Amino acid sequence: MIKHKEQRIGLLVDVANMYHSAKNLYSKKVNFKEILNQGVSGRKLVRATAYVVKTESEEEMPFFEALSQQGFEVKMKDLQIFAGGAKKADWDVGIAIDAIKLADKLDVIILVSGDGDYIPLVSYLQNNKGCLVEVMAFRKTTSSRLVEEADDFTDLGANKKFLIA
């Protein structure tokens, strides 16, 4: 896929999806700064948003602060804990809405998630908004259909620079 410096980029990161993939696959943390650098690739960054989930202990606040210092706008949501003890923290709809709202101002939307739930969003952005959609995620935990739908796919597991010990 051709990447040229005039392209306006929006990079949307499903932080929980990436965090759990890196932890489960490699027992490592994700280098979000490197994902941002690689994703942008010298193009015009319009918006970089990291979607995070805040737990009651708030122990992740220094991490959220670091994301902010690396150039991400951090959008926070509280972890929901249900009566039976089930926990839910899902940014899928929020990310989809933001992508659609931003699409008219962007040429390329980079989705940093391997979640197959985004397939209809990718298709909509390509066919109705004229955006290119690039996906960056760990191939082993990424939906095959999402990889197929995307205009470009970067396997974060293929390069150690996307991981932090």
Per-domain residue ranges of the chain:
8-164
Q: What is the CATH number of domain 8-164?
A: 3.40.50.1010
Closest by CA to 110, choosing from 74, 153, 148, is: 153
Q: Is 52 in contact with 76 (CB distance < 8 Å)?
A: yes
Closest by CA to 109, choosing from 89, 135, 85, 87, is: 135
User: pLDDT of 133-142, one tens digit each?
Assistant: 999 999 999 9
Q: Is 128 in contact with 99 (CB distance < 8 Å)?
A: no
> 79 vs 53, 64, 113, 161, CA distance in Å?
6, 15, 19, 29
User: pLDDT of 80-98, one tens digit each?
Assistant: 778 887 777 789 999 999 9
- The pTM of the full predicted model, rounded to 2 decimals, is 0.93
The C-alpha torsion from 122 through 126 and 132 to 135, rounded to 10°, is 10
Work out the average pLDDT over 11-37: 95
